[in-house]
Homo-oligomer: A and B are copies of this chain.
Amino acid sequence: MVKQKLIIIGGVAAGMSAAAKARRISPDSDIIVYTEDEHISYAGCGLPYFIGGKVHEREDLFARSIADFAQQNIMVKPLCRVEEIRPEKGKVFIRDKTDHLTMEDQFDRLIIATGARSFVPPIGGIELPGVFSLRTVSDSLEIKNFLQQNTPMRVSIVGGGYIGLEMAENFQEMGCQVSIIERAPHIIPNMDPDMADIVQHYLATKGISVYTGTSVTGFVGENLVKGVSTDRGDIPADFVLLAIGVLPNSELAAESGIELGVKNAIRINDKAETNLTNIYAAGDCATTVNLITGNEVYIPLGTTANKQGKVAGENAGGGNASFKGVIGTGIARVMEMEVSRTGLSENECKALDIHYLSKQIQSKTAAHYCPASKGIHLKLIIDQDTRRLIGAQIVGFAGAAMRIDMLATAITMGATVEQLLDMDLAYSPPFSPVWDPVLVALNQF
């Protein structure tokens, strides 16, 4: 058999998972990874904690180095931007960002794992020093550098999603006065308003100013940002972080005839295959499927990137793996408060015209007489016809949010209220009240 050559574009979660898996499946193939970034295989989700100083060393963010991969006979080429794919010829054209020279390379199979970039709206003042977004290790180093030189006191975070919340915590611990500006009527737009309001109230008690229903129209300042202009007035700020979502890096794929799907992400099937033979895509540049609705969705997350990358790597290496999709599980912590969600929200049910029932309860994470006993708000959503669980949202303190994994498992396995009420869940006073909050909520249906 002729030696196969696999080219991977992108060196973070999906790309490097694909490379590692392809190597295990196909020990003799050539594997080369081109990435325009300087850094590879890093924990993007750890960046807020790196900026906040909880991750002490930059090295702690890296899972594996270029040298580690070289030992596995995987060649990684950093600072190399793939500028063109010619699928019919099995060729890619690469510009080396150090010497600006262009080279070409030949592949038998190709995996596109180009990730996503921060959405940066084209509004006035966006180029001002002091206005940042956070996506890459390089972004985080620039931010840390700015913070050291300017020690901003007033920080405005545009966007009240998970990253916005995590950054609010980290900036406040640095002693900054923090505001969050969210265009939607409530923060954490993928949760329902009743649950998000609890978080919003908590943030207020912690001294964080939250402006919801507020659109940013521009940034004030001359040589340095001095404030955020909104449709409801100016908010002073010495530092602005944009955390309003990401866009898939799919232009390269689209230009070479690869089909895009929802939100312009690269459309792949459960084998991570694109519409072109021998070309795969995975991670934050690609679509996936919502397993509850069957709809194509774009939910770029590190865990999905790892799983899709593995599947792409296995299949490109000659195997036969599949990744069926997601149900929209998410989790975050902001100071002491934990937030998680899975499945469909009420808002999503309404949009999909699903006949649903929803209940929200308040309980404790442990027996009321235990020091570990903290508040938990739990919302469950069921399909009224099948009585299957289809959604869950949690807001609470220590030990609250991770209960979402049990609920995600129940949703994926199609569990009904009646099956769940009989579930043999763990009970001991330091871990749960004798009626676990999940059972208390189920008892409402």
Contacts and interface: CB of A to CB of B under 8 A. Distances in A.
A294 to B, nearest CB: 15
A413 B419 contact: yes
A399 B400 CA distance: 10
Contacts of A371: 54
A306 B406 contact: no
19 contacts: A13-B434, A43-B429, A46-B429, A49-B370, A50-B369, A166-B428, A303-B424, A323-B422, A331-B426, A338-B431, A399-B402, A401-B426, A402-B431, A403-B405, A405-B426, A408-B425, A409-B413, A412-B423, A413-B413
Interface string A34-72: 000000000101100110001110001100000000000
Contacts of A438: 405
Nearest to A57: B369
B426 A402 contact: yes
A393 interface: no
Contacts of A434: 13, 43, 45, 302-303, 306
Given A401-B426, A424-B412, A431 B331 contact: yes
The list of the 5 closest CB pairs from A to B, nearest first, reads A413-B413, A331-B426, A60-B369, A405-B406, A55-B369
A202 interface: no
Nearest to A339: B428
Contacts of A291: 424
Contacts of A78: none
A109 interface: no
A434 to B, nearest CB: 6
Given A307-B422, A340-B426, A424-B329, A367 B408 contact: no
Interface in A318-350: 323-333, 338, 340, 342
Chain copies in the assembled complex: 2
A326 to B, nearest CB: 5
A428 B162 contact: yes
Nearest to A324: B422
B46 A367 contact: yes
Interface in A144-165: 162
Nearest to A328: B424
Given A413-B409, A424-B412, A430 B368 contact: no
A357 interface: no
A247 interface: no
